[in-house]
Structure 1
Amino acid sequence: MRDSVLPPVLAAVQRLVEVVAQLRSPDGGCPWDLAQTPQTLIPYVIEEAYEVADAIRHGDPEAIADELGDLLLQVVLQAQIASETELFNLETVANAIAEKLIRRHPHVFGDVEVADEAEVKQNWEAIKSVEAQEKEGSDRLSHRLERYARSLPPLTASLKMSRKAAMAGFEWETVDGVWEKFEEELRELRQAIAHESKERQQAELGDLLFTLVNVARWYDLDPDEALHSTNKRFIQRLSLMETVADRPLQDYSLDELEALWQQAKRSLKQSE
Structure 2
Amino acid sequence: MAAKYKLDDLLYLMQRLRDPASGCPWDLAQSYASIVPSTLEEAYEVTDTIERGDLTHLEEELGDLLFQVVFYARLGEEDGLFSFNSIVNSLTSKLLRRHPHVFASGNLYSESGENATVSVMASDGVKKQWESIKSQERADKGKHGQLADVPLNFPSVTRAQKLQKRASQVGFDFGSIKLAMEKVHEELAEVEAEIALLENTDCSIALGQELGDLIFSVINVCRLASFDAETLLRSTNKKFEKRFSAMEQVIEGEGQALKNTSLQDMEAVWQQVKQLD
Offset of residue 65 of structure 1: 0.5
Contact 2:157 2:230 in 1 (8 A): yes
Question: What corresponds to 2:33 in structure 1?
Answer: 39
* Pairwise CA distance, 1:149: 4.8
Whole-angstrom CA distance in 1 between matches of 2:69 and 2:264 = 51
Residue of structure 1 aligned with 2:78, choices 65, 77, 84: 84
Aligned residue in 1 for 2:217: 211
1:97 aligns with 2:120: no
The answer to whether 1:263 aligns with 2:272 is yes
Higher alpha-carbon deviation: 89-98 or 223-232: 223-232
- Aligned match of 1:202: 208
| In the alignment, structure 1 residue 192 sits paired with structure 2 residue 186 | no
In the alignment, which residue of structure 2 is the partner of 1:108?
A: 102
Tell me the equivalent position of 1:153.
Answer: 155
Note the alpha carbon deviations across 1:126-154, whole angstroms, 9 max, x for none: 11111111111x432132xxx32514211
Residues 223-248 of structure 1 deviation map (CA, whole Å, 9 limit, x = unaligned): 21211111111111122112222222
**TM-score w.r.t. length of structure 2:** 0.86
Written as runs of structure 1 = structure 2, the 5 A alignment for 1:1-272 is: 12-110=6-104, 111-136=117-142, 138-143=143-148, 147-195=149-197, 198-245=204-251, 246-268=255-277
Residue identity matched to 2:78: E
Paired with 2:50 and 2:176, the residues of 1 have a C-alpha distance of: 35
Contact 1:23 1:34 in 2 (8 A): yes
Structure 1 length normalisation: TM-score? 0.88
Count of residue pairs brought into register by the alignment: 256
**Letter matched to residue 31 of structure 2:** T
What is the identity, as a one-letter code, of the residue corresponding to 1:25? D
Deviations 1:185-230, CA, capped at 9 Å, x for gaps = 1122223344477332222111111100111122222221211111
Q: Is the partner of 2:190 in helix, strand or coil?
A: helix
Which range moves more in the overlay, 73-82 or 231-240? 231-240
One-letter identity of the residue aligned with 1:254? L
Cα distance, 1:155 vs structure 2: 0.7
Matched-pair contact (CA < 8 Å) for 1:114–1:120:
no
Q: Is the 8 A contact 2:42 2:61 kept in 1?
A: yes
What code does the residue aligned with 2:147 have?
S
Q: Aligned AA for 1:263? A: Q
In 1, distance between residues paired with 2:78 and 2:91? 21
Separation in 2, partners of 1:63, 1:205 = 39
- Paired with 2:21 and 2:196, the residues of 1 have a C-alpha distance of 63
Task: Provide the C-alpha distance between the structure 2 equivalents of 1:47 and 1:134, rounded to a whole number of angstroms.
Answer: 32
Displacement after TM superposition at 1:95 (Å): 0.6
CA distance in 2, matches of 1:185, 1:253: 33
Offset, 1:112: 4.1
The answer on whether the counterparts of 2:161 and 2:223 sit within 8 Å (CA) in structure 1 is yes
Percent sequence identity over matched residues? 40
| Partner SS state of residue 177, structure 1 | helix
Runs of 4+ with deviation above 4 angstroms? none
The structure with the largest helix share of the pair is 1
Deviations 1:146-188 (A, max 9, x none): x325142111111122122122111223333212211111122
Measure the CA separation in 2 of the matches of 1:154 and 1:123.
Answer: 27
Q: Which runs of 5+ in 2 are unaligned?
A: 105-116
Letter of the 1:113 counterpart: S
Larger CA deviation: 105-114 vs 187-196? 187-196
Distance 1:17 1:251 in 2: 57
Q: Counterpart in 2 of 1:5?
A: none
Gaps of 5+ in 1: 1-7
Deviation of 1:62 (Å): 2.7
Q: C-alpha distance in 2, partners of 1:262/1:152?
A: 35
- Corresponding letter in the other structure for 2:224: W
CA RMSD of aligned residues (A): 1.9
The code of the aligned residue for 1:139 comes to H
